[in-house]
Amino acid sequence: MIVRSLPLLSLTVLIGLAPLVAKVEATESRELRFPPLSDGRLVLSVDPHTHSVFSDGHVWPTVRVWEANKDRLDAMAITEHLEYQPNRDDIPHPDRNRAFELAVKENKRGRERTDLLLISGAEITRKYAPGHVNALFIEDTNPLLTVKHRREETFATALEALKAAKAQQGFMIWNHPAWPRDFPDGVINLSQEQQSLFDEGLIQGIEVANGEYFNDSSLQVALDHDLTIIGSSDIHGLIDYDYDINGGGHRTVTLAFTNERSVEGIATALFQKQTVAVYNRQFIGRENELKTLFDSLVRFERLPARRNDSQQSAVRISNIGPIDIELEVLGDVSLNKSAGYVTVPSQSSTIILVLDHAPSDEIDLQLEWLNSWQAPKTHARLVRTL
């Protein structure tokens, strides 16, 4: 459990109001667990992109499972490069499902507390187009690498690999699309070839955030081409080295809105574009999903007046999620002791003092959710009438 210091402004108001402070379940700060949505659906944290020594990662697959359980991810995919095998001489493994099998074995052993779901996958690793593409939810990754033409086993073309993944009901994600090697300016110039892969349903998702990179152009492609918004760690080394976990950092993940806590439930969410990417304490998604998520994370509550003649109202804003929420209060409402920027710490609450509103007056709060992005340079906006 972590204890967070409350802003000074809140402290003065909190005195005398202690019994009203909402009790929220506290978890360790690195734990990426989210409360359910108001319609009952679950919000599962999923890392859909990881590597081990079975491609160009630096750890055995068991370590990936330990890390995921430390982060309390709901699900993680094992997605080794199929074609790029720099450790081939030391770790030859003709069966490309091996890393996933080892991860499943470790997860079942349950040495760490675990309810982690594991997703089988692979990274199809080709030049653009299509570039690097993750195929998730596939039972056997081997047919994505080679194909049998009559009696001859040959290396699959990129199109054959994608079709083999689709034949297994795979969900395909265009990884790190604005890779400098392909687009040195960070601006995606979509080729006809890539566009046709979208049209044929051979690529359904796109990483708008990969590890420490977020890219506006990728988000715009997601919106323009109706692709599922994805965030992933693409971890090769160690999570604790790549992210400032002790400083409140977290790996990049995708939140999937699902009806059930299962791999099938996550697959359905991805196919239906019911996702929000979470990157560096920022939430990236479509307007509707962001608003739905916000409703499940943040609560507003009018507090009783301290004096009968008060012309100032107190509103407590609580955040029951694992990541701080940053808000700006817009419109006609002015705050006392605040310029209008409000941080609601994770697993905690803060109190705002609204000027010129007696406790019986209605407050129309117009808010901008500053650490959310529903389009490039555009935050989600919310209204709360209290």
Q: Judged by CB under 5 A, does residue 132 bind Zn ion?
A: yes
Nearest-CA neighbor of 166 among 156, 180, 176?
156
Q: Report the alpha-carbon distance of residue 78 to residue 101 in Å, rounded.
A: 10
Contacting range for Zn ion; rule: CB under 5 A; set: 82-90, 99-107, 136-144, 230-238? 230-238
Do 110 and 65 contact (CB within 8 A), yes or no?
A: no
Identify the DSSP state of 209: E
Nearer to Zn ion (CB atom), residue 71 or residue 123:
123
Nearer to Zn ion (CB atom), residue 132 or residue 250:
132
Q: Report the alpha-carbon distance of residue 41 to residue 300 in Å, rounded.
A: 21
In order of 198, 270, 318, the CA distances from 172 in angstroms are 10, 10, 37
Contacting range for Zn ion; rule: CB under 5 A; set: 171-179, 256-264, 285-293, 362-370? 171-179
Q: Report the alpha-carbon distance of residue 13 to residue 173 in Å, rounded.
A: 48
Q: Which of 234, 263, 319, 357 binds Zn ion (CB under 5 A)?
A: 234
Nearer to Zn ion (CB atom), residue 130 or residue 321:
130
In angstroms, give the least distance from the CB of 59 to Zn ion.
14
Q: Judged by CB under 5 A, does residue 316 bind Zn ion?
A: no
Which residues within the stretch 151-170 sit at the binding site for Zn ion (CB under 5 A)? none
From residue 92 to residue 131, the character string flagging contacts with Zn ion as x (rule: CB under 5 A) and all else as - is -------------------------------x--------
Q: Which of 120, 141, 175, 349 binds Zn ion (CB under 5 A)?
A: 175
Give the amino acid at 203.
I
Nearer to Zn ion (CB atom), residue 121 or residue 359:
121
Q: Report the alpha-carbon distance of residue 305 to residue 120 in Å, rounded.
A: 55
C-alpha torsion angle, residues 289, 291, 297, 299 (rounded to 10): -160
Nearer to Zn ion (CB atom), residue 45 or residue 55:
55
Q: Write out the residues near Zn ion by the rule CB under 5 A.
A: 123, 132, 175, 234
